[in-house]
C-alpha cells in the first residue's frame, strides 16, 4: 500500500507545485481581476490565500495563490511579496536537490513577473539577489553566486545611494566569494568595494548613528582588507590609469588616499602624487592627514607634525580627531622622545574618546621612558607604579587592549621597588605616593 501511495502521489504533487501558463484573465482585458466569474474567482482566491499566509499556513495557501498568480497577476503587488514567502518556505523544506532547483526557478519567475507588472527593477533585482543567497546550500555554488552578483550589481547601479543595506552587504560578500574562486579579478573587487563604500558613507552621512549601517561598514572594510584582493600594487594598478582624467575629482582623490592609507602604502610615489594633488584642490582635514602620513614615511617629522596639527584643527569628527591626536602623540614619544608632550596629546585623545584604551597605554609607555626625570634610584622605580596604573586603566575602559595591557603590567611590575627599599624610605604598602617631575601623579605604594 505504501508503494502504491508513493507512485500515485509523486505526479500529483509535481502537478500541484507547477505553475501552468494558463490565460492571464485579468490582465487580458486590462483589469485587475477580470470580469464576471473570472473576477469572482480571482477575488475569492486572493482572499483565501492571503488569510492562510497571514497565519503562515503556506501549504494551504499555495493552491489559491497559484490561481491568482496566473489568472490576475496585476490584482495586487502582494501576490509577489507573499509568493516569495510561500516559495522560500517550500525551498527550505525540500531535501531533494533537483526538486529544490526547480523551486528556485519558480522563485526567480516570481521576481521576474513582479518586475514585468510593477516595475521597480532596481529594488526587485536587489531582493532577488539577496533571496537567492539566503539559502545556504547555494552560497558554495559559484554559478549561483555569480548569478546573484549580476542581479545585485544591476540593482546597485540603478538605485545607487538609495540601495538597501542588505543588498550592499550581500553584493560585497558575493564579490569576495567570486574573487576567492577566481571568477573575478582583484581590480574588480576594488571597484566593487569602492562602489559599496561610497554608498555606505553617503548613507552614514544621513544617519551617522544607524547601527545596521555601522555594522555593515565595519564588516565591509574588514572583509575587504582580509581578502588580500587589495595590495599597494593592485590599488596603484586600479587607480593610477584614471589619474589624469580624474585628478580634479575630489571623490576619486579621497578614495585613492583613503585606500592607500588603510594599507600603509604611503611610501609609493603614486600616494605622494594623489595626496599632494588632493591637498592643493581641497586643504581639508583628510588631505592634511594624508600629507602628515607622507612626510612621516620620509622621516620629516617637523612637516609631518605640522600637517597633523592642521588635520586636528580642521577635523569635526571626534573619533577621527582623537585618532589624529593619538598618532601624533605616538610619533612624538617614539620618534622625538618627548614623553611629556606626547602625554598632552594622548590626553586630548582621551577627552574625545574616553572609552579608548590605546592612549592610556601610550601614556604608560611615556612614563616608562621618563627615567631621566630622577637621579635617585628609588624614585626611578616609582615611575613603574604610575605606568602600571595607566595600563590597568586602559584595559578597564577598553577590553580590546587587555592583552597588550596585561603584557606590560606583567613586564613592568617586576621593576617595582622591593620591600626593603620601600621600608627604608619609611613607606608601607598602600600608602599614597606622589611621583614628581613632569609626571606629577599620585599612586599607591606597591613593593614587588
- Contact between 153 and 134 under an 8 Å Cβ cutoff? The reply is no
Crossing angle, helix 186-206 and helix 211-226, to 10 degrees? Answer: 160
Instruction: Determine the pLDDT at residue 302.
Output: 94
**pLDDT at 29 (0 to 100):** 62
Per-residue pLDDT of the chain (448 residues; tens, 9 = 90+): 333 323 233 333 344 455 544 444 655 666 687 666 778 899 999 999 999 999 999 999 999 999 999 999 999 999 999 999 999 999 999 999 999 999 999 999 999 999 999 999 999 999 999 999 998 888 899 999 999 999 999 999 999 999 999 999 999 999 999 999 999 999 999 999 999 999 999 999 999 999 999 999 999 999 998 898 999 999 999 999 999 999 999 989 998 998 899 889 999 999 999 999 999 999 999 999 999 999 999 999 999 999 999 999 999 999 999 999 999 999 999 999 999 999 999 999 999 999 999 999 999 999 999 978 999 999 999 999 999 999 999 999 999 999 999 999 999 999 999 999 999 999 999 999 999 999 999 999 999 8
User: What pLDDT score was predicted for residue 25?
Assistant: 62
pTM: 0.70
Start-end of H helices in 55-185: 58-71, 78-93, 97-118, 121-133, 142-159, 165-180
pLDDT at residue number 108: 97
- 3-state DSSP call for residue 370? coil
Q: In the prediction, which pLDDT does 44 show?
A: 96
Looking at residue 172, its pLDDT comes to 97
Q: What's phi and psi for 315, nearest 5 deg?
A: -85, 135
What are the backbone angles phi and psi of residue 441, rounded to the nearest 5°?
-125, 145
**Which cell is 207 given?**
544617519
Three-class SS of residue 62? Answer: helix
| pLDDT of res. 10 | 32
- DSSP state string for 353-417: -TT-SHHHHHHHHHHHTTGGG-SSHHHHHHHHHHHHHHHHHHHHH-GGGHHHHHHHHHHHGGGSP
Selection from 188, 187, 214 nearest residue 201 by Cα: 214
At 136 the pLDDT is 84
80, 31 contact by CB (below 8 A): no
| The predicted structure's pLDDT at residue 6 | 34
Amino acid at each position: 500500500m505504501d508503494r502504491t501511495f508513493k507512485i500515485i502521489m509523486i505526479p500529483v504533487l509535481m502537478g500541484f507545485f507547477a505553475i501552468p501558463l494558463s490565460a492571464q484573465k485579468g490582465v487580458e482585458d486590462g483589469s485587475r481581476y477580470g470580469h464576471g466569474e473570472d473576477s469572482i474567482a480571482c477575488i475569492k482566491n486572493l482572499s483565501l490565500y492571503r488569510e492562510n499566509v497571514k497565519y503562515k499556513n503556506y501549504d494551504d495557501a499555495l493552491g489559491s495563490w497559484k490561481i491568482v498568480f496566473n489568472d490576475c497577476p496585476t490584482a495586487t503587488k502582494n501576490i509577489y511579496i507573499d509568493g516569495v514567502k510561500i516559495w522560500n518556505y517550500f525551498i527550505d523544506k525540500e531535501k531533494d536537490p533537483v526538486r529544490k532547483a526547480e523551486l528556485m526557478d519558480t522563485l526567480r519567475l516570481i521576481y521576474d513577473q513582479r518586475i514585468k507588472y510593477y516595475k521597480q527593477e532596481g529594488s526587485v533585482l536587489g531582493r532577488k539577489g539577496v533571496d537567492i543567497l539566503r539559502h545556504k546550500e547555494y552560497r558554495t555554488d559559484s554559478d549561483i553566486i555569480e548569478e546573484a552578483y549580476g542581479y545585485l550589481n544591476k540593482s546597485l547601479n540603478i538605485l545607487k545611494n538609495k540601495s538597501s543595506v542588505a543588498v550592499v552587504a550581500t553584493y560585497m560578500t558575493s564579490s569576495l566569494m567570486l574573487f576567492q574562486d577566481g571568477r573575478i579579478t582583484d581590480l574588480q573587487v576594488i571597484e566593487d568595494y569602492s562602489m559599496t563604500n561610497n554608498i555606505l558613507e553617503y548613507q552614514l552621512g544621513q544617519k551617522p548613528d544607524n547601527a545596521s549601517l555601522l555594522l555593515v561598514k565595519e564588516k565591509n572594510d574588514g572583509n575587504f582588507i582580509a581578502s588580500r584582493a587589495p595590495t599597494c600594487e593592485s590599488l596603484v594598478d586600479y587607480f593610477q590609469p584614471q589619474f589624469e582624467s580624474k585628478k580634479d575629482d575630489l571623490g576619486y582623490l579621497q578614495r585613492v588616499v583613503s585606500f592607500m592609507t588603510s594599507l600603509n602604502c604611503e611610501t609609493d610615489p603614486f600616494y605622494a602624487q594623489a595626496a599632494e594633488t588632493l591637498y592643493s584642490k581641497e586643504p581639508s582635514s583628510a588631505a592634511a592627514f594624508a600629507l602628515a602620513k607622507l612626510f612621516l614615511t620620509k622621516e620629516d617629522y617637523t612637516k609631518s607634525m605640522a600637517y597633523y596639527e592642521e588635520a586636528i584643527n580642521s577635523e569635526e569628527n571626534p573619533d577621527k580627531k582623537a585618532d589624529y591626536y593619538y598618532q601624533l602623540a605616538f610619533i612624538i614619544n617614539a620618534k622625538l622622545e618627548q614623553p611629556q608632550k606626547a602625554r598632552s596629546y594622548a590626553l586630548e585623545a582621551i577627552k574625545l574618546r574616553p572609552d579608548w584604551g590605546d592612549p592610556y597605554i601610550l601614556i604608560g609607555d611615556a612614563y616608562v621612558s621618563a627615567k631621566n626625570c630622577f637621579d635617585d634610584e628609588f624614585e626611578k622605580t616609582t615611575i613603574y607604579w604610575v605606568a602600571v596604573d595607566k595600563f590597568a586603566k586602559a584595559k578597564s575602559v577598553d577590553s580590546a587592549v587587555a592583552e597588550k595591557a596585561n603584557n606590560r603590567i606583567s613586564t613592568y611590575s617586576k621593576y617595582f621597588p622591593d620591600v626593603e627599599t620601600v621600608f627604608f624610605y619609611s613607606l608601607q604598602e598602600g600608602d599614597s605616593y606622589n611621583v614628581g617631575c613632569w609626571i606629577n601623579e599620585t599612586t599607591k605604594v606597591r613593593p614587588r
